[in-house]
Structure 1
């Protein structure tokens, strides 16, 4: 499996990462360990988790797998902290108290004295940014964390994070973990150009749009049964009523047409599009079963040509907001959008 540098850092990640949000929830421990085994067998090295994934169960499952298989030096472990793990109002946020307690708890569950990448799970408007960044820097200095990163921030927030960390000489983020797929391309307005400019590696989550881009849903056929939307049709950003639009179905039709012509699955085509986008270091997979993971790994054998990439990119391009983005772009002052092939 190809490995790429995470932005401008020395951290190298497999181009596909194994997301573990299903571990302990939709996937039991035996199935989770089977996924980890298959991923490593395929050459994968990047394993992504978070403390809130099944209230720490995902990390514990990974920790037991590492202890049993002895793979600690063969994989890159990333985890995240910021969200609440309990009901206490003190048990959340990106402040020093919570992040310190969260990291220590993650290390205990993972059975290790350090993680390779620790990411703040989301911007925290209630905590001074300097406190968060200084805390992260302390983790690196103490040897508990090798690299730091963020997830779920806007362009101006990422800019503040980078400038303040540089000004104070604190550990600079090497990664950003955003949602990015053919249905959700909002990061291309500011976040992705910022990552490209600043040398921050992009680690997309939900590259299959929560299952929408696998081809398992049908136009005008509200899902039911044992699928994510069948069990929970109001599931966050993936909710049926939110994404059941003509744009969505046009994109899915195009993905399936390309997949049919290649003898590939819709998932493989969709994953390949994300993998081939500028700035992407590692695409985070999220499978329930080894069979789904196997299909996702097959995307490594699919490299889309210029025409196929262009077709999907143009078709999936959302309308650019008129102001300020459209106005500035019309005056030639927004090259990032054009360089990404989104307009």
Structure 2
């Protein structure tokens, strides 16, 4: 039986991965795609943002700790999908794995080469990295995760090029080419990119990856680099737990303590005017430190969900699916940022409720 091609979709927080994935799922290509997601923090919003009637099988792995637990969970998820496919319980042609914006894609890719059962069912087709043209230079300056995502890519997609000048795009392209001269760079604003530039690339060349990271295939290297690997994974809010981390040295590892995720949830609707004013103020004051924020909102008098998402000072909303009797009506918002005053956000949002 032919191997199932798998694509790893990565990119820093807010780069536009979910927008691209949503577009892929709704293109009239006739492909059946299974999606595996990993989100940073305790709540997964993307399952609300990705419209459900597309019929794809979405597996949520919402543990927030990519180097300790996502690889194990990823093996289980992939093998379970393959088992169900072989048994005729599921039908899909390929898999897309969307990583958290703070992920090092190396351990995810490693899964396809160190687990025998995964290797018998799947072919790692390519790592596709989305880079935010508006914030990409700053992210590359400040975050090793962003540099690793670019360095491991088989294809680099530039989003938000409409928000910057041609010279800024050219400057970012030159930098990305220095980081990764092997990967073609393609504009992909609003997820608009030919499917042939994302799927069936046959772009993952293991020899190239070994040049980037000689320890790539060394199973022991995962534990050896334990401290380094945790840099991207544990900027949780204080009440977030990293379930499944059994290594006691994990708690002494160096963490991205300045990056944290927290969640706001309420079953009461928002007053739209008060919420607009409050969010505008937050963005003015804390925008540069707000790496990523998104949510599904219940607004007073609205019969449809409102999708809210943004990065830094760029925020947008869109009309989502209608609320149904089966829905548990309410708002859920996730904020990821550097040293954000959680209580200020939570208290202010509560004051915007009806």
Please report the TM-score for the alignment, with normalisation by the length of structure 2.
Answer: 0.31
Q: Which structure: greater strand fraction?
A: 2
Please report the TM-score for the alignment, with normalisation by the length of structure 1.
Answer: 0.31
